[in-house]
Copies of this chain bind each other. A is one copy, B any other.
Amino acid sequence: MSGIRALQKEKTRRQLIDAALGQLSSERSFSSLSLREVAKEAGLAPTSFYRHFSDMDELGLTLVDEAGLTLRQLMRQARQRIDKGGSVIQISVRTFMEFIENNGNIFRLLLRERSGTSPAFRAAVNREIRYFTLELCDYLQQANKLDAEVAYLQANAAVTIVFSAGSDALDCDKKDLAQLAQRTIKQLRFIARGAFEFGVRNENRSLKVKGETK
C-alpha cells in the first residue's frame, strides 16, 4: 500500500507540473507551450505525458488550482500580519505586491487564462478569484459592520483594483513599484470611504441618492 510505484508516479507528475510552471514567463504563455516541450523539460518522452494527463488542458487546470492554493496561502499570510496590527489596506497591498514579486509567473497564468480561450480555464480562474473576494467580503462585513451588498461591492472592487495593480506591477521597473503601491492604496481608500458613506446611508434612510433610484 505504501506504493513505491505510486510514489514515483506522483514525483514525475510534479516534474511535469514544475516543468510547465518553469517555462512560463512574461513572453511565454501556457497556451503557447507544447506537450512535447513540457515533456522534454521534465525529462520525459513525449508519449509518457499521457500517463499523467490526458491533455495539456488537464495540466493547465491543475496549474490554475495550484495558483489558487498559492493565492489562499497569501490571504492567510496577510491575515496574520493584520492581526498583529497595522492598516488593513496597507498590509494587504504590500502582501500582494510581495506575492507578485515571488510568483510572477503564476499570477500571469491567472491573468491570462481569465480572459483566455478555454471556458473551463476561465471558469476555474474566476472561481479562485471569487473565493478570494468572498473571504475579503466576510472580513469587511464583520470588521466594518457594512450592509451585505455594500460589503460585496467593496470587496469586488478592491480585488479588481488590486489585481489590476498587480498586472501593472509585472511590467513595472522595480523602482516605480513603491509609487504604484501608494497609488493603489489611495484608490482602495477611495473605495472604502465611498462604501462606508453609502453603507451608512443605507442603514438610516431609504436609499435615495440624487433622486436616481427609479
Contacts and interface: CB of A to CB of B under 8 A. Distances in A.
SS class, residues of chain A in contact with chain B:
helix
Contacts of A43: none
A87 B187 contact: no
B26 A117 contact: yes
Number of copies: 2
A160 interface: yes
A197 B194 CA distance: 8
Contacts of A116: 29, 112
Interface in A144-192: 153-154, 156-157, 160-161, 164, 167, 171, 183, 186-187, 189-192
A122 B171 contact: yes
A179 to B, nearest CB: 11
Contacts of A27: 117-119
A112 B167 CA distance: 12
Interface residues of A, number: 43
A192 B191 contact: no
Contacts of A115: 108, 111-112, 115, 167
Nearest to A112: B115
A24 to B, nearest CB: 10
A164 B212 CA distance: 24
